[in-house]
Structure 1
Amino acid sequence: MSHVEHLQELHGLPAFDFAEAVGQRELPEAGAVAWRLAADPYGDSPYGDFDDLWKQFLDSVDLSGVRAIIVGQWGEAYDDDSSGIVRRLVDARDRLTALRAVFIGDLEMEEAEISWIQQSDVTPVLEAYPLLEEFGIRGGTGLRFPAVRHQHLHRLRFEAGGLPGEVVRGVAASELPALEDLDIWLGVVEYGGDASVADLAPLLTQGRFPALRHLGLRNSEIQDEIAAAVAGAPVIAQLTSLDLSMGVLTDEGATALLGGQPLTHLTRLDLHHNYVTEPVARRIREALEPSGVAVDLSEPGDTWEDDGVVHRFTAVAE
């Protein structure tokens, strides 16, 4: 299964494709679904232009009841960045008064590789919606996230084949007292993923985000270094769930986790897509599963050898 697929739900609401339904069947109640807005310039939909689709959405739906919006293809996502999407959302803030969740960049590989998605500074959405609880972004190219203050954000998610270190530093410097769930796909240097363990250090201190219960630092080519840093990180004591999946995690990083502070208080440890050998994987299960920790060590990664050099890959890159 691909790790980059259309969202099926957001904020506990099923995704509903507005472009496919408008004019064809009765629309659901505004607050009953997560409205997916996507304009396909090459498809059969009459809405090949996002501006037309957005206007139709504003005219057809009770905006005061909309709770979640998923933004998919907005045209040529590899030519046009997301600043127009950000602007439209900001301009509609006085009408979208119940909006609690936004995801920008819900494109699959057939529409655009994740590295082709051109993002922008997305923080104006948080500034425009002080009651927003969930915010997600797919694509790291051109993405900016300067430090923000937000009192109500519960979940923050970045999906990228290469997430700029500048974004990680912006998140780490933000004031998000209600943040419970932070999920970051770091990616690889080749596609702009230049964040270092030093950039992550503020996230690993206890109390940086006092409400944090789930931390995902995933899809990284430096997953062993991250695992070693996490092993001694004060933040672990406040977590119930830890996700270091989708990256180049080997026995070195897994052993560092085992030798660090206890993880038996967790309910879940996700290490799927990894390069951990079976003996070390067995040690992890034996150390944690008797305490009730659900350990995921599925999907061993594929390796490629060239002139005696073994190459390992993250789950998502280009």
Structure 2
Amino acid sequence: MDYSEFDDSVGNLDEGTYAGLPIVSVSERKGQKIPAAGEAAWRISVTSYEKVEAFEEQFTLFLEEVDTTEVKAIIIGQSPDAGDGSEVVVRSLVDNAPRLPGLRSLFLGAIDEYPISWIRQGDIAPLLEAFPLLERLEIRGGSDLGLRPVRHESLRILRFESGGLPVEVVRGVGACDLPALEYLELWLGMLEYGGDATVADLEPILSGERLPALRHLGLQDSEIQDEIAAAVASAPVVARLESLALSMGMLTDAGAEALLSGQPLSHLKRLDLHHHFLSDTMMDRVRDSLPGVEVDLSDQEESRGDRGYVAVAE
């Protein structure tokens, strides 16, 4: 599997494509040359000050004007700020699942207009239950996000972008049975923004027992990145990975030392440690220890006083 499209951490949305398809906005479709339904990633979005009904109208327009039986990818952008804004998004998708039999890729919360910590979500388990053939699910925003344990036979890519991923979601991922999952990425974030998971909460993921097909693991953007690195050093799942990302967080020499002192990593094709607090000496040690591995040590940061910082928080 080629993971290169995830190198920028947001898929290819900034380049106008998603899941290999050009993005077409439902609200701006007039005057555009509209591709066939299955040849576009359809973006559904309203401005934040609009009411829930505005999103429902937009979604209805999508259902009426697009041959939804052919749709492969959907992007949900801005949704209403009202308390039930995230719920109406999930409900709209779930209630119309029979009309979307070809949906394989879904991105919720594709919003750049305000901080990631402001993006509200809800329980995403109903989406996995309603779309058993979904292969790719990406979520941006951790506020009110939930995931109860489910089994899903088809999901290959699961990503969470958050400045603070709730422990309930981390535990939910670990308790899900995802036999086809190849790519898992968690932005764990900071306690201040709701990222309250500990290394112990990651243990079911690190064991890999429910993730037999996993080839990429990203445990990123964490203020406890050193502790995570130490746990990864002895994690059973690592032996079958092709790529590992411990990037975007507060990784220091102590974490890198623990990682290098653990199980061999020479089987990896790629190790992503970008945005880190390693010394020049430790950076050289990492490179020298893994001569056949593509190692990303870009974005060497300097601590602010006695404290580091994660790449994405507020």
Structure 2 length as normaliser, TM-score?
0.92
Identity value in percent: 54
The question of 1:136 aligning with 2:142 is answered: no
Partners of 1:277 and 1:226 lie apart in 2 by: 19
Deviation of 1:36 after TM superposition, in Å, equals 1.3
Deviation of 1:80 after TM superposition, in Å, equals 4.5
The match for 1:299 is: 299
Deviation of 1:41 after TM superposition, in Å, equals 5.0
The match for 2:111 is: 107
Partners of 1:129 and 1:67 lie apart in 2 by: 12
Q: Which moved more, 1:23-32 or 1:255-264?
A: 23-32
Deviation of 1:300 after TM superposition, in Å, equals 1.7
Q: 1:72 aligns with which of 55, 70, 77?
A: 77
The question of 1:29 aligning with 2:29 is answered: no
Partners of 2:78 and 2:223 lie apart in 1 by: 28
Alignment of 1:117-132 (within 5 A): 117-132=119-134
* Contact 1:157-1:184 within 8 A present in 2 as well: yes
Structure 1 unpaired stretches of 5+ = none
Partners of 1:100 and 1:144 lie apart in 2 by: 21
The match for 2:214 is: 212
Q: 1:11 aligns with which of 8, 14, 19?
A: 19
The match for 1:55 is: 60
Task: Kindly report structure 1 stretches of 4+ aligned residues shifted beyond 4 Å.
Answer: 2-6
The question of 1:116 aligning with 2:123 is answered: no
* Contact 1:162-1:193 within 8 A present in 2 as well: yes
Deviation of 1:241 after TM superposition, in Å, equals 0.4
Secondary structure of the corresponding residue to residue 275 of structure 2: coil
Partners of 1:98 and 1:92 lie apart in 2 by: 12
Q: Deviations over 1:194-238 (max 9, x none)?
A: 000000011111433100000000000000000000011111111
Partners of 2:294 and 2:22 lie apart in 1 by: 26
The match for 2:312 is: 316
Letter in 2 for 1:312: G
Deviation of 1:13 after TM superposition, in Å, equals 2.1
* Contact 2:199-2:227 within 8 A present in 1 as well: yes
* Contact 1:114-1:139 within 8 A present in 2 as well: yes
Q: Deviations over 1:127-161 (max 9, x none)?
A: 00110001111111100101011111101111110
Partners of 2:232 and 2:48 lie apart in 1 by: 44
Partners of 1:102 and 1:262 lie apart in 2 by: 35
Number of residue pairs matched? Answer: 304
The match for 1:174 is: 176
The 3 A distance-change label for structure 1 pair 314 and 4 is farther
Q: 1:241 aligns with which of 230, 240, 243?
A: 243
Structure 2 unpaired stretches of 5+ = 1-7
Q: Deviations over 1:79-100 (max 9, x none)?
A: 5441110000001111111001
Structure with more of its chain in helix, by fraction: 2
